[in-house]
Amino acid sequence: MENRHTLRNIGLGMAAGAALGMLMAPQKRNLKATAKKAVRAVEHAAENMTRDLGM
């Protein structure tokens, strides 16, 4: 059980880091559109992690 929590936390941390990286990357899009995309990416990653771990 401890292993599942650790893997989930690692996955969520990676997803959050990727989302922040997308926000900080210089792009020509406006910040609001980029923020929405980052939030969606984190939500999908969290959903996939929990589904894959059977939670």
Q: 11-42 pLDDT, tens per residue?
A: 888 888 888 887 777 666 677 787 788 888 88
What is the pLDDT, as a whole number, of residue 27? 63
Q: Report the domain count for the chain.
A: 1
* Phi/psi-derived region of residue 41, left when phi > 0, alpha when psi is between -120 and 50, beta in every other case: alpha
What is the pLDDT, as a whole number, of residue 28? 64
Tell me which residue range forms the domain holding 24: 2-52
Enter the DSSP assignment of 25.
S
Angle, helix 31-52 to helix 2-24, in steps of 10 degrees: 160
What is the pLDDT, as a whole number, of residue 42? 83
